[in-house]
Chains A and B, each alone.
Chain A
Amino acid sequence: MNTKPISGPHIAAIRRVDQIMRQVILALVPATAFGVLLFGWPALYLLVVTVLSAMLFEAFCLKLKGVAATPSLRDGSAILTGLLVAMTLPPWAPWWIGVAGSAIAIVLGKQVYGGLGQNVFNPAMLARVALLISFPIEMTTWANVTPLFTGPGLIDSFALTFFGLDSTDAVTGATTLGLVKTGFSQNLTLPGILADYSSFLAMIGWERGSLGETSTLLVLGGGVWLLRKGVIQWHIPVSLLATVAVLSSLFHLWDGAHYLSPWVHLNSGALMLVAFFIATDYVTSPNTPLGQLIFGAGCGLLIFVIRSWGGYPEGTGFAVLLMNAVTPLIDHYIRPRIYGRYRNGKPLDISNP
Chain B
Amino acid sequence: MLAFLENPRLRGGIHAEEHKQETCGQTIASDFPLPKKLYIPVQQHVGKPAEPVVKVGDKVLKGQLLAYSQGTISAPVHAPTSGKIIDVQDFPAPHPSALPVRTVIIETDGLEQWAPGNLPDDPFAMAPDQICTRVGEAGVVGLGGAVFPSAVKLSLGRKNQIHTLLINAGECEPYLTCDDRLMRERAGEIVSGIRLMLRGMEAPKAMVGIEDNKPEAYQVMLAACREFDNISVEQVPTRYPMGWDRQMLRYLTGQEIPADGRATDIGVVVHNVATAHAVYKAICLGQPLISRVVTVSGGAVGKPRNVEVPIGTLMSEVLAFCDLDKSKLARLIMGGPMMGDALPFAEVPVVKACNGILALSRDEIEEPEVQACIRCSSCVTACPVGLLPLEMASRIKANQLDSAVDLGLKDCISCGTCSYVCPSNIPLVHYFKFASGELVKRQQAEHKAEQTKRLMNDRNERMERIRLEAEAEAQRAAEARAARMAAQAAAQQQKVEESA
Which residues of A lie under 8 Å from residue B357 when comparing CB positions?
Answer: none
Which of A12, A19, A340 is within 8 Å of B425, CB to CB?
Answer: A12
Other-chain contact of A11, B365, B371, B375 (Cβ < 8 Å): B365
* Distance A233 CA – B377 CA, assembled complex (angstroms): 10
Instruction: Select which of B342, B366, B385 is within 8 A of A8 by beta carbon.
Output: B342
Q: Which of B332, B407, B417 is A1 in contact with, Cβ under 8 Å?
A: B332
Q: Is the CB of A10 within 8 A of B377?
A: no
Interface residues on A, range: 35 or more
Q: Contacting chain B: which of A216-224, A266-274, A287-295?
A: A287-295
A-chain residues with CB within 8 Å of residue B342 when the two chains form the complex: 5-6, 8, 10
Interface string of A1-32 (1 = CB under 8 A from B): 11101111111110111011000000000000
A1 & B331 in contact (Cβ 8 Å cutoff): yes
Confirm or deny: B79 has a beta carbon within 8 angstroms of a beta carbon on chain A. Answer: no
Residues of A315-353 contacting chain B, CB below 8 A: 331, 335-341, 343, 345, 347-353
Bitwise, A152-182 to B at CB < 8 A (1) or not (0) is 0000000000000000000000000000000
- Binary per-residue interface labels of chain B (311-330) against chain A in the complex, 1 for a CB within 8 Å, 0 otherwise: 00000000000000000011
Closest approach, in angstroms, between the C-beta of A20 and any C-beta of chain B?
6
**A242 contacts partner chain B, Cβ-Cβ < 8 Å:** no
B88 contacts the other chain (CB 8 A)? no
Determine if A115 is an interface residue (Cβ-Cβ < 8 Å).
yes
Q: Does B115 contact A (CB under 8 A)?
A: no
B366/A12 in contact, CB under 8 A: yes
User: Could you say which of B330, B380, B420 contacts A336, with CB atoms under 8 Å apart?
Assistant: B380
Contact between chains at A347 and B261 (CB < 8 Å):
yes
Q: Which residues of B contact A60 (CB under 8 A)?
A: none
State which of A11, A288, A341, A353 has its C-beta within 8 Å of the C-beta of B17: A11
**A7-B429 CB under 8 A given contacts A16-B423, A20-B423, A351-B266:** yes
Please, what's the 1-or-0 string for B327-360, where 1 marks a CB less than 8 Å from any CB in chain A? 0011111000111111011000000000000101
Given A5-B342, A8-B339, A16-B423; A288-B377 close (CB under 8 Å) = yes
Q: Is the CB of B388 within 8 A of A335?
A: yes
Task: Encode contact with B along A264-283: 1 for CB under 8 Å, 0 otherwise.
Answer: 00000000000000000011
How far is the CB of B250 from the nearest CB of chain A, in Å?
A: 8
A327: nearest chain-B partner, CB-CB: B375
| CB-based contact B375/A336 at 8 Å | no
Inter-subunit contact A17/B161 (CB<8 Å): no
Contacting residues, chain A, for B266 (C-beta < 8 A): 350-353
Contact of B411 with A by CB under 8 A:
yes
Q: Check: A116 CB closer than 8 A to any chain B CB.
A: yes
Which residues of A have CB within 8 Å of B11? 339
Whose C-beta in chain A lies nearest to the C-beta of B414? A8
Asked if B156 is at the interface (CB within 8 A of a chain A CB), the reply is no
Q: Verify if B376 is at the interface (C-beta below 8 Å from A).
A: yes
> Is B420 touching A12 in the complex (CB atoms < 8 A)?
yes
* Interface core residue of A19, A335, A343 (most chain B CB under 10 Å): A335
Asked if B246 CB lies within 8 Å of chain A CBs, one says yes
Main secondary structure of the interface of A (DSSP, over half): loop
If A2-B330, A9-B338, A116-B372 touch, whether A338 touches B416 (CB-CB below 8 Å) is no
- Let me know if B186 is at the binding interface, CB within 8 A: no
Residues 2-19 of chain B: 1 if any A CB is under 8 Å from the residue's CB, otherwise 0? 100110000100101100
Task: Determine whether B96 belongs to the interface, using a CB cutoff of 8 Å to chain A.
Answer: yes
Most buried by A among B160, B376, B385, B386: B376
How distant is the Cα of A282 from the Cα of B246 in the complex, in angstroms?
A: 30
Q: Is the CB–CB distance between A6 and B331 below 8 Å?
A: yes
Q: How far is the CA of A12 from the CA of B16 in the complex (A)?
A: 8
B256 interface hit (Cβ, 8 Å): yes
Q: Tell whether B111 is near chain A: CB-to-CB under 8 Å.
A: no
Complex Cα spacing A3 to B423, Å:
25
> Are B331 and A2 touching (Cβ within 8 A)?
yes
Query: Considering only CB atoms, which chain A residue lies closest to B427 in the complex?
Result: A7
Q: Is the CB of B374 within 8 A of A117?
A: yes
B388→A287 contact, CB < 8 A: yes
List chain B residues, Cβ under 8 A from A75.
Answer: 371
Query: B222 within 8 Å of A by Cβ?
Result: no
Could you tell me if B332 and A117 are in contact, using CB atoms closer than 8 angstroms? Answer: no
- Contact between A11 and B16 (Cβ–Cβ < 8 Å)? yes
Q: Which residues of B contact A136 (CB under 8 A)?
A: none
A337 and chain B: residue at smallest CB distance:
B386
In the assembled complex, which residues on chain A have CB atoms less than 8 Å from the CB atom of B6? 336-337
Q: Kindly state whether residue B109 has any CB partner on chain A within 8 Å.
A: no
Interface check A71, CB cutoff 8 A: yes
Q: Given A13-B421, A17-B374, are A7 and B365 also a contact pair (CB < 8 Å)?
A: no
Please give me the residue from chain A that is nearest to B380 by CB atom: A287
Q: Is the CB of A341 within 8 A of B259?
A: yes
Within 8 A of A (CB), among B359-388: 360, 364-366, 368-369, 371-377, 380-381, 383-388
Q: What 0/1 readout, one digit per residue, does chain A (57-80) give for beta carbons within 8 Å of chain B?
A: 000000000000001000101000
Q: Give A12 to B424 CA distance when docked, in angstroms.
A: 11
Are B331 and A17 in contact, with the CB atoms below 8 A?
A: no
Closest to A292 in B: B377
Cβ B368 vs Cβ A16 within 8 A: yes
Please measure, in the bound complex, the distance between the C-alpha atom of A10 and the C-alpha atom of B424, giving whole angstroms. Answer: 15
Q: By the criterion CB–CB under 8 Å, are B372 and A10 in contact?
A: no
Q: How far is the CA of A1 from the CA of B346 in the complex (A)?
A: 11
CA distance A1 to B391 in the complex (A): 33
Supply 6 A–B pairs (Cβ within 8 Å), ascending by A. A10-B360, A117-B374, A289-B381, A340-B259, A347-B259, A348-B256
| Contacts A335-B407, A338-B386, A348-B261 supplied; 15 other A-B pairs, CB < 8 Å | A7-B433, A8-B419, A9-B416, A11-B365, A13-B16, A13-B421, A15-B423, A17-B423, A282-B376, A287-B375, A339-B11, A339-B411, A340-B261, A350-B265, A352-B163
B: residues with CB less than 8 A from A are 2, 5-6, 11, 14, 16-17, 96-97, 160-161, 163, 174, 246, 250, 256-261, 265-267, 329-333, 337-342, 344-345, 358, 360, 364-366, 368-369, 371-377, 380-381, 383-388, 390-391, 407-408, 411, 414, 416-417, 419-425, 427, 429-430, 433
